[in-house]
Structure 1
Amino acid sequence: MLLKKIHKILSLAILMLVSTITCFAQNPSYNNHIKNATSKYYETALKNRNNHNYDSAQFYFKQALKQAEQDEDYYMLGRIYNGLGTLYRKTYHNRESIHYYLKSIATTKYSGNQYGKAIAENGIGNIYMGLKEYNKALFYYKESIKYGLENNNNYHLEVNYGTIGDAYLKLNVPDSAEFYLWKSLQLASKRKSTIAEGICYQLLGEVKEQQGLFNEAYKYYSKALDLQRIENDKRYLSYALIHLGNLCEKIGKFKEGEEMLLEGKPLSIELNSLEDIIMAYEALYNIYFSTGKYKLACEELAMVNAWKDSLFNIESVSALNDMEFKYQTERKEQQIELLTAENKIRSQRMMLFIIISIVLVLAIIGGILDFFRRKKRNSEQQLMLKQQLLRMQMNPHFLFNALGSIQNYMYRNETKKAAGYLNNFASLTRAILEHTTQEYISLEDEIKSLRNYIILEQMRTNHSFDYQIIYSEDSDIEFIEIPPMLIQPFVENAIKHGLRNLKYQGLLHISFEEENDALFVYVTDNGHGIQQNSNTQKGHRSMSMQIFNKRQKILSRQLKKNIYFSIENQQDLNPQKTGTKVKIQIPIKL
């Protein structure tokens, strides 16, 4: 049943690719039709999000996501993931937000949309700014800005210069903050964006206030306020009014400060911006107290305390959410000990419950282990089933990488090349489906599968390496039978790691020798060698070798003959050579 499902899925995948190639070749507007169908939902979602209609925005983003997933439109998927990331960030759902930003980054290898990746990195930086993790925010901002520098995208540079400057401001590094904010301001001025210029002047004012240069801060705040009055955006206008009013109180311009604060305070209350509200009430209290208006000062002080209580409650809830978020994303172990008399009793009860649960779980596990011990481990039927499952586990490991590479050719409208490589892919897929049901295949069929696989990897790496497959003309490769797909993991490691990023043309050499009822296979490359790549390859090699080792044990028990392999650096034998040599000994079925 499982084999039939896998066969059906792969057949549908091939049909889909063939259909897509045909549509690209016969109807160039097909891809535009897909994007337009998805874009309708996407644009509607953006409009609702910008108008703060977040529920409607979420609905249309999900509709766009469903359509893009159905059409496998990776470019639009990246944009939709970013849209959802920003939506959830604006509604303070940090965990969901970072989830979609990371998914957007993951689609880059299929869509090639580096700008979408940069937007996601900026979004993650904004999340960490909200969490007051300013150094982590800086890391993501600086990753994001690389796109703007490499592609000379001034708007992207303007945004990231501004966010980097804000992060340095929060870290109390005013010189660096001022440097980046001026760079952002220069680009905003060229773009003639009044609101962006106002934000830059506002932050520059905060830098000067942080340095104690109040007169310079006053000039920047005043410039920011003039610009924000033009745009009349309540959020930025309120921010500018209250910060300027607060500064006026510090430098003794009480009348002007009172005017600014009385104008900005209702806007901040309407926007529920608690920090600005408290700043406004505190500044008014200081102004009224300094000017002898003690009754008004008392009223403002009472409001300060009331709003601080509200802020404390919100910050307490936010702090708990932030701790949970950090735990989920960074996997940090955090322990909170409760030392009061009441929760000691609760803790003891919980500990007793945990101990009982552990005992029960161990008893169940012991029973399960005892049940499996009674099974006949060396049953021929179990061995065959395990081999089939392991081969199914291995097959998708490289098949879907090939699908992704073929799709890239389609996205570039290179349909002839895509169709040619699709033939190789279809042949390889057909062989794997057939081999999954067989315990042994001919060496001739194994070589054909390897050749198709290597051709697909050459396509993926832009023919950065050549290959040779050598066997004796006297060998009856059509009659030599071996277990299928034992050689492929070693060939994959040689291509993806030994021959990766070479400054010269790589060479993969595979040879077969028959001796005393055993087949000796040599997989050699002229790449980096083991030592140079041990750190970077460890995870991938262990995954491939884990699958091979499982099959090795099962086949050795079944054949009652061992399967060996060894790996060595060619440079250890000959200093003039580079690369790795793998030797595999496989028993031949008699």
Structure 2
Amino acid sequence: MLVLKKTGIFILQICCILYLAAQHPARQKIDSLKKLLPLKQGTQYIDCLNDLSEEYWWPPRVYPDSISMWADIAYKEAENNNYPSGLAKAGMHLGVSAIYRKNFVTAENYLRTALPVFDSVHDENGEGWCNLWLGQTLYSENRFTEAASCIRKSLSYLTRHNNNEGIGKAWAWLSFLYAATGNYDSSFEYCTKSLLLRETMSDHVCVAASLANMGYLYRSAGDYEDALSYYRQGQQYGTLHGINYYTANWNYFEEPIGATYQLMHNIDSSLYYLQRAMQIDPANQMTKISFGEALLLKHQYDSALAIFLKPLGNYRKENDAWDLMRILLDAGKAFEQTNQPAKALPYAQEGFLIAQKANVKPYMVQLSLLLARIYKDLNKADSAYDFMRQYVAVNDSVKNQQFFWRLTNYKKQDDFKKQLAAVSLLEKDNKIKDDAIQRNILLRNILTAGVVFFILLAFIVYRVIDLRRENERLEKTKLQYALDKELAKNEQKQSALQKKAAELEMQALRSQMNPHFIFNCLSSINSFILKNKTEDASHYLTKFSRLIRMVLNNSQQSYISLDDELETLQLYLDMEKLRFKNSFEYALNLSGNIEVQAIFIPPLLIQPFAENAIWHGLMHKQEKGLLMLDFSIEDRVLNCVITDNGIGREEAALVKSKSSEKQKSMGLKITTERLNLLNNDGGCEASFTIEDLKDESGNASGTRVRLRIGYKTLNQIL
């Protein structure tokens, strides 16, 4: 039963791993990176900061503030350390943060600065992503030719590195580019490629997004029913695969569905979906603009204008030309429909020039018609006639493109559905094969367990018979009986020694958190409360409770990971530092070859030496003290060097003789006993030496402890 249970757990773990591998980078990785960050130094520290920044840009929920916060720290550190690769990545991340804030001039500056640095350090993957983000920025600035060039460059780099995540995104943006310029065939081709790639990756978030992109393409081509169909498919797919649109603030469906219903002149349905969209992401500017357009159709002009005019200044400043066209058109319509043609004219003119410059024909159609109406209201017949003529010509061109594409699209749609069905069938076949493999593995494990069980049973039976015969022989002579008795006594002594060792070890562990330390901690908390520093008191109490919990947990284990030991040690040092009003600083330094999760040592071996350095060396020092803890590995031995610049052992002994707090050395004494027991037991070789440090004048300048601990690996522990 135990074997079956373990096998079941193993299979469940494998399934979880396969499921997680199919998603975007897991958010849980953020906690792991934050935990590693204090242990990193130099370029590794900068790389860890950049990795943290990148984790916040993945959908479904993007955090621009967190992207820029970590990237800004990485950028400054990279400048100080003259680290070009870290500087380029941090600059790209700052550009990405600006894109999500719709600050496109700022984004372009960061990305163009990062690109040559990526090239100089031969980071092709970085060049690929940077070109891709720059293409997205240029698209928003209506610079479609430059945008397409950047995205195609990114594809060449990303394809060489088999970066499917970036390839899928690049194809999606090429689809947007072609849709904006009316090339619906190419748009459909790249949108289809992106969707099929996401399907083969089982990237559920981006499959849902790709279906939304397909809906956008059909909406651009004037096929509103098919657009709604794709939006709903994407929505259902995301829900089926566990995407919570509200917690993720992911507005890929409600807002575009509401906007599509506007184009179909179904205002009530439009308002329903847009109100839901505003509940999902209240801060989304595009949702607000779509809602303003619905208000415009409901003749609520003042409310609509307030929405349209608010972002105008920032869009102009940051050259958000794509969104600027839209709100200029909306503002012009609002003024024109309230019989204010003079106010409507500059908005319509500015919007038309932007659309004409980028050759965005759908906007040229609407703006030329609006200008014709405005000039008619202003009694400028010639201008009205010119724009009406432009409207007819461009509108015919757009309608023809849309009509012919819809006419020829039926076969493409059928081929596309067959491709999707083939991918789905392939996934089912793979799942069936995986299930069969898992069943075979389970059967093999059961058979293996059965064989092992019968071997063990045979061995036990043989051993019982052998022992019985041995006992019969031992009973034949008194000498053998005496030997047996002596062996029993030795076993009792050994058992007593082991029991004493265990008792001493537990006593040593518990003595680490002695009553005086607990009393002083509680006194510090009380002092914070009396001084009305509730936030400091809460922070201190949180650390204190966490330290107590970790000591109690670790005391139950014979061995703990070096990672847990360091976390407990840092908590203890932070508490002492806070309690002694920052009268000393400390630093933990690990050599590059230490894997803190894979090294296991007896718990709380290092803390007493740090405690000794603080209480007998640093707390009596007039100036600010420094405690250094350096860790390295040599021949399967963990070396820990604990150095303080305190008053030294001789002066500490004088101070101690005058003080009533003589119990502070108990921690070190019990640790010495623990080390002796560990060495005698043979489970872990450990030793330490203490060295008095002198300055150039021969005066005491601190103490250095060299602690050597024979560690165990994860396999040995298991």
Which interval holds the TM-score relative to the shorter structure? 0.3 to 0.5
Normalised TM-score (structure 2): 0.37
Give the structure with higher Rg (CA).
Answer: 2
Normalised TM-score (structure 1): 0.44
